[in-house]
Every structure is written in structure tokens, then in C-alpha cells.
Chains A and B, each alone.
Chain A
Amino acid sequence: MAEQQKPTPEAKVETTSHEWDGIKELDTPLPRWWLWCFYACILFAIGYCVAYPAIPLAHRATAGVLNWTSHGQLAAEQAKVEAGRAGMRLAIANTPIERIPPNSALMQSAVEGGRAAFKVNCVQCHGTGASGRKGFPNLTDDDWLWGGDVKTIRQTLEHGVRQPGDKQTRMSQMPAFGRDGILTADQIQDAVSYVRYISHQEPASISARRGSEVFAANCAACHGAQGKGNRQLGAPNLTDAIWLYGGDRDTITETVTNARYGVMPAWGKKLDRASLNMLAAYVHSLGGGE
């Protein structure tokens, strides 16, 4: 292909006088319009430096005549989002809680808002998945101490559990049967055997039969004759598969001996009506809502 090109273009352009293996480097001049593009970029940069924060000083950069900041932009955008949400928030706040789930638009917003509020206020105890842990109830299951309909959940949320000074707070007071000397250690063991029998964890035994009498005399008042609990009193169902503290012998023994007094803040003092409704809707939507 080489002998094809007799009059070569490079004969007419200066070279850099660099040559490798017979290949010469041309010194082709830059097109002038390219230079203009550089000048335009410089002008743009000057304009940018005047308009926006640009030149670093000791503590912060020059402000720029537009007074733009990324914080300011974020605040403005967030204010815009908040303003857009305001109507929905108001509607959620002003709708009685039991009327929210049937209204799918309200419910959807409430659940999403509740998800956010839950992440801020509730995950510390109930966990990010709301599945709780020992001593902190699992909110996704179908076992509720005080009731799992959305209105009851809202009530529990607003007034908390064992909050002194709040008249409507959830208050249950199981006696510390062992510590206070109400029952002897043997009686407690018998009662535990009985509880583990009615929750299908142990077969019937003599101890359990003795325990049934202890149970009828001391426990049935709150937990019911069959041990199925009483939501009015916040007394848990002892026959199901769900144990807030644990269903093994040692843990039940510990519970009966010393009793348990879990607490939850009265969120009505800290959160507005909209947030309370959202949280109640969200908790109700987790799968166990009644």
C-alpha cells in the first residue's frame, strides 16, 4: 500500500522531527475554534466562581452572588416534599384510627409514614423487623398482650406500658410469687410443670397435677381457668407457642419467682397525632393485626 501514495500529505505539514520506525509525527496546528472553546471554558469558569461558592478561604469558601449552598438546596427540597405531604398528614391525623385501614390511600401513606417513624422511635427495643426479642414483644405475630386491633394498638402506643402519672397506661402487676414469699419453691415448680403441660411442652405428671391446684388458687384470676390469658388485664395466654421471656422451665420459674415488669414510653407525649396513627397503622400491617 506504500507505493500507492506518491504525493503524501505530510510533505506539506511540519513535523516534530520525531521519527519511529519510519513513522513521522506531524505537528498539525490546533484548529482555532478549539482555542475559542478553551476561552469560552475560562469565561464560564470565571462566571461560575462569581455565581457559586468557589474560592476556599480559611473557614469556608466564598459565598458567590447566588448565595447557593448544598445545605440550602437540600432544605428547600425537603421543605417542598414536606409541603407536598402536609395534606396527607393532616388527613391521617384527623381520621379516627379505626377508619384508616379501610381507606387504602390513607392506609398506604400511613403505613409508609409509620415505617419511617418506627425506624426512628421503636427499633431500639422491638428491632428493625419489629420481631422483638426477649422481653420486647414481637409485633409481627398474632399474640397480643392487650389486643391487636388497630384501636387498641393505638391506645397502647399513646399511653405506653407502666407509665406512672398516665391514668390510661397499660398496667399489669403480676405478684413476685417467690421473692415475696407467696409460694414456696416447690409450689412454684409444680405451677411451672402445669404451665408447661398446658402449653404442650411437657407430658402430664404428678407435679403438674399438683400445679393445677396452685394455678387455680394463684394464677387463674388473671390468666383464666384454662390459662388462656386476659387481655383486659394484660395477662398473657400461657397455652400458646409464644413466650415473651421464654417458655423453658428455668425462665418460667424466674418469671413466677420475681415477676416481670416491662415498660414502654407513652408516645402520646412525644409524637403528634399523625405519627401515632401512622405507627398504629404500620404495626397493624405487619401481619398480626386483628
Chain B
Amino acid sequence: MSSLEARRGGLYARRPDIFPKAVDGFFRRLKWAIMVVTLTIYYATPWLRWNRGPYAPDQAVLVDLAHRRFYFFSIEIWPHEFYYVAGLLVMAGVGLFLITSTVGRAWCGYACPQTVWTDLFLHVERFVEGDRNAQLKLKRGPWSVAKVVRKVVKHGIWLAIAMATGGAWIFYFADAPALARQFLAGHAAPVAYATVGILTATTYVLAGWMREQVCNYMCPWPRIQGAMLDERSLIVTYKDWRGEPRSHGIKKAGEFGDCVDCLACVQVCPAGIDIRNGPQMECITCALCIDACDQVMEKLGRPRGLIDYATLEDCEAEAGGRPPVPVMRTLLRSRTLIYFGLWAVVGSAMALSLGQRTRLDLSVAQERNPLWTRLSNGDVRNAYSIHVRNMEERPRTVRLAIEGLPAATMWDSLGSEKAAASSLTFTVGPDQVERRRIYVRGPETGPDHYSLSVAALDQEHSTAAKTVRFERPEEGQ
């Protein structure tokens, strides 16, 4: 029954038919709960509102590509702060390592979108076509009106879910209520329709038709995890020392193990494998075979856990009659501690810098062509391009000032030298960058470095400063 077995012979193998049987149990309920939580987060998040005042969107989570802003509740990320996103990606990567080395492929089994949507599609399939046996019967049976109706209904529901999935995605990139109205009225941007179309197609194909093929052939993660797992990682394991030899329903105590070869574990497997063959690349550790086997063991009056979450080390210890390694020792080993340390360092560094970042920033680029201009009275003038970023969601008046360059004055290209002074006051729009070209005039001799500072007039601690050069002609120039 293994998918590998089905592919025997020939250069190409068709996808084996898999009709996973419905099962109930602890892990099935856990999967239900996680599915509800993750799908709710996915579909509902764009509709959450968050008041940011009159100058910023009120959507709680919004990736505003047109204006290059990312809003996440009270946090707003500007493009130059993309390192927060990079940090999140590093945390996600290290987090996957951490999870894998402690509880195995928990991501694959419970939280991966491919798993969640495939699971949802399987439920739809069972709802329309019945459980495993009914599905098998329907497949073998001739085409009839009833069969066509069932297929049409199933694919119709799949497509509707796929479309909702694609539809929800675009709401993260624009104001959800407005976009929903535009979308339904046919006025949304072509890219919105294209995105929905592509995501509808991928959801329908990947969750409806490809399913475990995605994990086996497209996803790199199972291959990486093959290298990540060790004998102390939690995996779904068949305890062969307890189950073998299989009894095939014959009850002769002493000669046979606990496995009655009922194939319940194989029938519920969404990956179409036989867990009793040992750890396999195809196993996403969804643990449904544990639920299935536990039910059988309970009926037979034998202890649960013939198939169970266990480390290979524990299995060996149990088989040899030794006590299993304590869970804490499994979790707290140098490898997991290092992963956790890395994860925590990146996370706390980000949290710290997020808490301390100022929402006023100044960058100064010195004009280098020409570096300096000699003026008719012998003074020297330098020019700079400045960007003042007001990263708060309200307009602010700021003062740009020269510090440490005596007798220097400045003005900007919007004003004239007649208004030159040692500081310049102007207003920066809400959540905007003010770009100006400024001129600084100074005497022929003096310090060659000074400081340009910008301060928000309405806040005491909102300041930024940059040390800049004041270039002068060299001797004889």
C-alpha cells in the first residue's frame, strides 16, 4: 500500500489514489483546533481595524506597497527598517530548526498551509462523497447522474474555498472594505484579479489534486528535515518490538505482538504510507495513525501507544526494558538550547530596537560636485541634500540646526540667502519624508566637521543628528 510500492516498474509513476479515512481522537481534535485558529487568523486579520488617527490607514495589518509602508497594529515599518522583516525571517528559520529538533515535523503535521488546506479539502471531499469506502465505491462505479452531481458539488466547494483564499490574500495589501467593494463591482486593479486568479488556481490544484505530492516532490523542507532529525527528535513511531509479529486477527497469546494488522493506521494516512515501515520522508507527523491505532488498541483492551510520538532513543530504551529518557532531557540538550538561544537573541534584539527607535530621522548627503563654492567675499559655501523622515502619523514642525561651525548660516533651495540663519524651521507631513537641498555658508577657516541636528519642536526627546564635513578649498585653489 505504500506509495513507493505503487510506483514500482516503469519510468513514470502516476499519483497513487489515497482515500484517507475519517478518524477521531486527541490529535484529530488538536488538528481541528489548529485549523480553526490558523484559518480564522488568515481570513479575518485584514478586517481588523486599528485607529491611527486621520493621517494613516485604520487597517490593523496592512502591507501598503504603493506607499511603501507596513502596518502591524501599533508598529509601522518603513522600507529602510526592512531589517525587522529580515529578523522575522531569521527567527522563522531558526524557529523551524528549534521545533524540528524538539517535536519533529510539527510544522508539517499541523500548521503548514499545505497541510491545513489539504485537510480542509479532505473534509469537503468526505462531506460530499462519503468516507473512504464510499469514495472507493464511487470511483469504481460507472458514471451516473449522482456521480456527476457529487463531483460537481465537490469541485464547486473546492473552487469556492480556493477563491476565498485568493480573495483574502489581496486584502492584506489594500484597505479591505474598500477593495472588497471595488473587487465585486469590477473596478479593482487588474493585479488584484490576477492575484486572486493565481491563488485560486494554486489552492485548488495544490490542496485538491497535488496534496502529498507537494510535500514529497516540491517542498525542500522534508529533505532538510531528514538531516535535522536525530534519535532524540520526537517522531511518530511504530513500536515494532511491541507489535511484531502481526497477528492478523488470530488470537494466540504469547506468539504474536499487539499489532493485529487491521491497517487502520494505513487507511487514515493522508500521505498514503505505512508507518510500520519505520521513519519515512513522506511522513508529515500528523499523528492521525496514533488516533486510529489507539482506538483499535482500546477495543482490544491493550495499552494505547503502539504507534506513538516517541524518540528513537526512547523506543530503544523501552524495547530493552530500560526507563525512557526524561522529556526534559530530550528537550534541553545543547542543540535545542543553541537554537533557542539564537532565536531569543534575534527576537530580543528586535524587540529592544523596536522599543527604542526614534520616529524622526535625518540623512545628509553632501553635494560632491562641486564640493565647495567660493563666494565673492571669500566665504565658502557647501551644499547638502537632506532627508528628514517624520515617521509619526501626524505633521510635525522640526528645526534643523548647525552645531559646531561658528559664524555659519544656512538656507534651503526653496528660500533665499536673504533668510539665512543658523537654523531652519519647517513642517514635515505626517508619515512623510521631506527632501531639501540646503546651503551652508561659513568662513574660510574653521573646523572641518560639524553637526547637523534635527529636532521635533513638540517633543523633547525626538531628535536626530549627523556629523558632516565642511569642505573648503585647499591652499592655492
A17 in contact (CB, < 8 A): no
Chain B 439-461 per-residue mask, 1 if CB under 8 angstroms from chain A, else 0: 10000000000000000000000
For residue A287, give the distance in angstroms from its CB to the closest CB of chain B: 5
Task: State whether B7 touches A13 (Cβ < 8 A).
Answer: yes
Residues of B within 8 A of A4 (CB): 237, 240, 278-279, 312, 315-316
| Chain B interface extent, by class | 35 or more
Task: State whether A29 touches B7 (Cβ < 8 A).
Answer: yes
Task: State whether B217 touches A285 (Cβ < 8 A).
Answer: no
Residues of B within 8 A of A104 (CB): 414
Residues of A within 8 A of B375 (CB): 141-143, 241-242
Residues of B within 8 A of A138 (CB): 370, 373
- One of A30-38, A179-187, A212-220 at the interface: A30-38
Q: Decide if the interface of chain B is mainly helix, strand, loop or mixed.
A: loop
B10 in contact (CB, < 8 A): yes
A129 in contact (CB, < 8 A): yes
Chain B 1-22 per-residue mask, 1 if CB under 8 angstroms from chain A, else 0: 0101101111111110000000
Task: State whether B15 touches A32 (Cβ < 8 A).
Answer: yes
Find residues 119-153 in chain A having any chain B CB closer than 8 Å to their own CB.
127-131, 138, 140-143
B413's partner among A6, A240, A242, A285 (CB-CB below 8 A) is: A285
Chain B 413-433 per-residue mask, 1 if CB under 8 angstroms from chain A, else 0: 110110000000000000000
Residues of A within 8 A of B315 (CB): 4
**Bound Cα distance A138, B10 (Å):** 81
Residues of B within 8 A of A277 (CB): none
For this complex, 29 residue pairs linking A to B, each with C-beta atoms less than 8 Å apart, are A5-B277, A5-B278, A6-B244, A9-B278, A9-B280, A12-B4, A12-B5, A13-B5, A29-B7, A29-B10, A30-B11, A31-B15, A31-B217, A32-B14, A34-B12, A34-B217, A104-B414, A128-B369, A129-B368, A131-B369, A131-B370, A131-B373, A140-B373, A141-B374, A143-B375, A241-B378, A242-B375, A287-B381, A287-B383
B positions within 8 Å CB-CB of A: 2, 4-5, 7-15, 210, 213, 217, 231, 237, 240, 244, 276-280, 312, 315-316, 367-370, 373-378, 381, 383, 413-414, 416-417, 439
**Bound Cα distance A6, B133 (Å):** 30
Task: State whether B279 touches A28 (Cβ < 8 A).
Answer: no
For residue B204, give the distance in angstroms from its CB to the closest CB of chain A: 15
| Chain A interface extent, by class | 35 or more
A77 in contact (CB, < 8 A): no
**Bound Cα distance A12, B280 (Å):** 14
Task: State whether B231 touches A1 (Cβ < 8 A).
Answer: yes
With A34-B217, A287-B381 known as contacts, the answer to whether A29 contacts B12 (CB < 8 A) is: yes
For residue B444, give the distance in angstroms from its CB to the closest CB of chain A: 9
Task: State whether B376 touches A242 (Cβ < 8 A).
Answer: yes
8 new A-B pairs (CB below 8 Å) besides A241-B375, A285-B413?
A1-B316, A5-B279, A9-B5, A31-B213, A141-B376, A143-B375, A287-B439, A289-B416
With A1-B231, A104-B414, A129-B370 known as contacts, the answer to whether A241 contacts B7 (CB < 8 A) is: no
Task: State whether B373 touches A287 (Cβ < 8 A).
Answer: yes
